[in-house]
Amino acid sequence: MPTVVVARTPAPGREVEFEQWLRRLVAAARSFPGHVHSDIQPPTDVHPGEWVILYQFADADSLTSWFASEQRQAIMAQGDELVVGTTREQVIALGSQPEPVTAVSSFRIRPGNERDYASLHVQVIDALVAFPGFLRAELFDPVPGVQDTTVVVFSFDNREHLDAWLQSDARRHLLAQIDPLTDGDRTVNIVGGFAGWFGAEGAPQVKRWKQAVVVLVAIAPITLVITALRRWVLPDVHWVVGTLIGNVIGIAALTWLLMPRLTKLLAGWLAR
């Protein structure tokens, strides 16, 4: 399943027109034969000034057909004056991939350390990109009144590659720099591939980005609740034991309590 990342920089003062044009381009890709998934990411600290599009098609022929299509060429011509600099295109994955394994880490950043953490997060992404099997990572900042922790979600193509990252010297070195910037415990929940929660026999395959959204909606509150309960019931327990307890309870709650109810509640949206 070919995956291609395209990065473009908008012309100064024409950012609104650029975004509208980019969304028309992606909408066209989503209606093209063989399209599996596409996403738009606005500029971030990782790629400042650049808008990044991820395209994923069922096979190389479908992807090639999309890039060579008259429909795409016509839309591209409309954006000639909206883009500056060199457009970067990179194939980041080829061949069929097994169901990915996803880890969710949450922690609280000490007030005043947000900029230092942002700089270290860029280093984390650079280290992840260089690691075998890495697929994607997303950063979710705190939302007042909803989520008071920073959440990082990252996926690997299989559990072996994820475990290699979790046990790596590169990760330990980065965590040693991040820990002084945080308050309290850092939780890591490994939720594995999502197919067991979404793969009803005979049902259409659920898009992976929708799977990830539902898992995040479920895991964020359960992580906060488990952390609060553990601090209340076992305030002096070693962090290793506390993390193990949290993972066991969290995965059990997701598997048998939250995910069956969420997938049933959102069945219509997941099927689209």
186-201 pLDDT, tens digit each: 766 665 555 445 544 3
Q: Give, in words, the CATH class of 101-271.
A: alpha beta
How much is the average pLDDT of 30-36? 88
Classify burial at 158, counting beta carbons within 10 Å of its beta carbon; exposed 0-12, middle 13-18, buried 19 or more. Answer: middle
The candidate with the shortest Cα–Cα distance to 19, out of 56, 57, 52, is 52
pLDDT for position 191 = 58
CB of 19 within 8 A of CB of 51? yes
pLDDT for position 187 = 67
How much is the average pLDDT of 136-141? 80
CATH topology classification for 3-93: Alpha-Beta Plaits (3.30.70)
CB of 154 within 8 A of CB of 137? yes
pLDDT tens digits, one per residue of 199-253? 443 344 556 566 667 776 776 677 777 777 767 777 776 655 666 566 657 666 6
Q: What is the pTM of this model?
A: 0.41
User: Range(s) for CATH 3.30.70.100 in the chain?
Assistant: 3-93, 101-271
pLDDT for position 11 = 92
CB of 6 within 8 A of CB of 87? yes
Q: Which residues pair with 39 in a beta bridge?
A: 54
Least-confidence region, from 14-28, 73-87, 129-143 = 129-143
